Chains A and B, each alone.
Chain A
Amino acid sequence: MKSLAELEAIRNKTINAMNIRKDGENGIRIVVGMATCGIAAGARDTLNAISEELAKRNVSHATVSQTGCIGMCRLEPIGEVLEPGKEKVTYVKVDREKAVRIVNEHIINNKPVVEYTIGAVEK
């Protein structure tokens, strides 16, 4: 260890991975429905795409987890974005491409992708 900068570099490398362990202050939660219906519709790929994109963009204020059937099996894969103090946003038929856009626009730039939400699709 030759300098503080070197220490800082090691710190930055690990800190994002550690943020997940903060109690009750994890910021945004992204939940992907992964019951039989979701998995059959390709939710596994959706989840991987979200994870990869979050890692690629170095996002530390959002976590991803799986959930069971949300009840609208025909609209799977479904992904929900839950943010403290805000309305839940439900995205439907989320494929790889949509997942990438959701992470970039909604999670990073804080603008929900209205056209992918259940309200827009189910008009």
Chain B
Amino acid sequence: MNLVRAHILVCGGTGCTSSGSEKLITEFETQLSRVGMADEVKVVKTGCFGLCALGPIVIVYPEGAFYSRITPENVKEIVDEHIVKGRIVKHLLYDESVKDEEIMPLNDTNFYKHQMRIALKNCGVIDPENIDEYIALDGYKALGKVLTEMTPEQVIDIIKQSGLRGRGGGGFPTGLKWDFAAKQPKGQKFVGCNADEGDPGAFMDRSVLEGDPHSVIEAMAIAGYAIGADQGYIYIRAEYPIAVNRLQIAIDQAKEYGLLGKNIFGTDFSFDLEIRLGAGAFVCGEETALMTSIEGKRGEPRPRPPFPAVKGLWGKPTILNNVETYANIPQIILNGVEWFNNIGTEKSHGTKVFALGGKIKNTGLVEVPMGTTLRTIVEDIGGGIPNGKKFKAAQTGGPSGGCIPASLIDVEIDYDSLISIGSMMGSGGLIVMDEDSCMVDIAKFFLEFTVDESCGKCAPCRIGTRRMLEILTKITDGKATMKDLDNLKLLAHSIKASALCGLGQTAPNPVLSTLQYFEDEYIAHIVDKKCPAGVCKNLLQYKIVPEKCIGCSLCARQCPVNAISGEIKSPFVIDQSKCIKCGACMSACKKQAIVKE
């Protein structure tokens, strides 16, 4: 019998997999066999560590050496130096994790220091395809406790008292939802998990399912016990192949161990789970559309009430929770209500996972206590804006959310504070924008998304959002008048008030919130016909400053449409009627003689 003396953890999340982490695993195994250490060193494929910008990531324990951006060529060096000789390969380490030549514990680095991991507790720690590792870290203990020591009412009470609110965006109290479903007459009931995650830029649900699928399975079984359901469905988009695959492995393992199936823990409680694949329509993240899709029909929403807790899947009482919400449940059961209530703000307890993207150094996945300021997330955890640019705004909540301008960077983020400043939590996409981002263009981007994704069932959303997009296009083309701006506002408010489902009702939010904080940019587009950030192509002109131009003809040779002409050694000019505004001349010029205005 031999002791495994070192673990090499390789990130197997989607981010690191796409940058080649699968190859690293095979290469590590080959190299370890070469030096004859395959038995004493274990290679583990884990879920996401969060620091996706620096992937693929490899952590070697017991030293806790955090290697970033590892290529298959680096593997031999790590094995020869670190594993065989015990010398950490310093030049491959994540530079933030080295201080005075010593490795810092990962939790002391800026990226992890401000984080608190509940939903992501096991992500990047365990092998998601090995149920034993989940059980070793207290997995399924909460389910065991619930089934053997508690009544369904007690479970619901705990969830209610914890104040846990839906992490999918709306922030509805989870305990209350469960209570509604539990109070329905006995009979067939269902537990559903919303893993549709349609917001552009959000990937926390995917990461939880990839890194810790058992936590969701365990929580769904607990929910089943609480409301009296024996069947659950996980609705997940087919665009998440790694997550789907690991989830299926996890379900199979749980069935094999009898943690799903009949008479779990020797009790009367039976629970089974099935995966339902979605085709990736944004509207199917809306709960009524999601259920219609599970039933095998076209994914379209229906009016509420009746709420799913009363009439859900196949007309039976159903609860639907988001992946991240479920990932919190076992921890609340194990650690208690008081523990959870001490985390976060008064009205929003616990933590929230954000997918950090856009103009930020540390793109990745972060989990912070509710009430953390945007400044901490952007500047400390995110590492600030690259290239010394200025922070302009952060977009939260995807196509349903809004913008937080730089002036509100110290706002403490929770459900209510975001609503009060005209945005919303949403599922947790957080897109950072710098001074080069045009807010009208951002609003247009999200509206294009909603127009594409509108299911077409109700007129306000189907026709209204398209009209809004037309006005926005007019604005960015420099053809709009102030009257158009008034119409845009009127449309936005009418759609908000009249659309059938959440998708339509929130579709105008990106426009409304950018108007609230950046109306001057809209006016600059309309009145001055200028895009202050220099993004909207139709309002841009590239010009050559005659005083700076040395007449080298470099720009003219780069121009794909031959719009630049002139004589060598005298200033060149751009023919605006030919220019397609590609910017090739500007990047070619060595004298910075070409400007955009």
Contacts and interface: CB of A to CB of B under 8 A. Distances in A.
A10 B132 contact: yes
A15 B3 contact: no
A56 B1 CA distance: 7
B9 interface: yes
Nearest to B2: A51
Given A2-B258, A11-B136, A24-B107, A17 B4 contact: yes
A86 interface: no
B62 interface: yes
Given A14-B132, A23-B107, A66 B83 contact: yes
Contacts of B86: 31, 34, 65-68
Contacts of B105: 23-24
A20 B141 contact: no
A65 B6 contact: yes
Contacts of A48: 2
B35 to A, nearest CB: 11
Contacts of A105: none
Interface stretch (B196-204, B259-267, B540-548): B259-267
Contact of A65 (B5, B107, B144, B259): B5
B258 A1 contact: yes
The contact size tier of chain A is 20 to 34
A20 B3 CA distance: 11
B83 A7 contact: no
| The 4 residue pairs across chains A and B that have the minimum distance between CB atoms | A24-B105, A67-B86, A14-B136, A63-B62
Contacts of A10: 132, 135-136, 257
A90 interface: no
Given A17-B4, A68-B86, A7 B135 contact: yes
A109 interface: no
Q: Which of A17, A21, A29 has the most CB of B within 10 A?
A: A21
Nearest to A63: B62
A10 B132 CA distance: 7
Interface of B: 1-7, 9, 40, 42, 61-64, 83-87, 105-107, 125-126, 132-133, 135-138, 140-141, 144-145, 148, 257-259, 264-266
A105 to B, nearest CB: 18
A13 to B, nearest CB: 7
Nearest to A31: B86
B61 to A, nearest CB: 5
B5 A21 contact: no
Given A21-B125, A23-B106, A63-B61, 20 more contacts: A1-B258, A1-B265, A2-B266, A3-B266, A7-B140, A10-B257, A14-B136, A20-B4, A20-B62, A23-B64, A26-B61, A29-B62, A31-B86, A35-B85, A54-B3, A63-B6, A63-B62, A64-B3, A66-B84, A66-B85
B135 A11 contact: yes
A67 B9 CA distance: 20
Interface string A18-55: 10110110100101001100000000000010011011
A48 B39 CA distance: 11
Contacts of A2: 258, 265-266
B533 to A, nearest CB: 42
B85 A65 contact: no
A52 B3 CA distance: 6
Contacts of A11: 135-136, 138, 141
Given A31-B86, A67-B86, A14 B7 contact: no
B138 A4 contact: no
Contacts of A54: 3
A61 to B, nearest CB: 11
Contacts of A35: 85
A26 B62 contact: yes
Interface in A101-116: none
5 contacts: A13-B132, A26-B62, A51-B40, A65-B62, A67-B86
Given A23-B64, A29-B62, A68 B87 contact: yes
A69 B294 CA distance: 63
A11 B126 CA distance: 13
Contacts of A14: 132-133, 135-136
A7 to B, nearest CB: 6
A47 to B, nearest CB: 8
B2 A52 contact: yes
Contacts of A31: 86
Interface string A55-90: 110000001111110000000000000000000000
A18 B137 CA distance: 8
A24 B133 CA distance: 20
Contacts of A68: 85-87
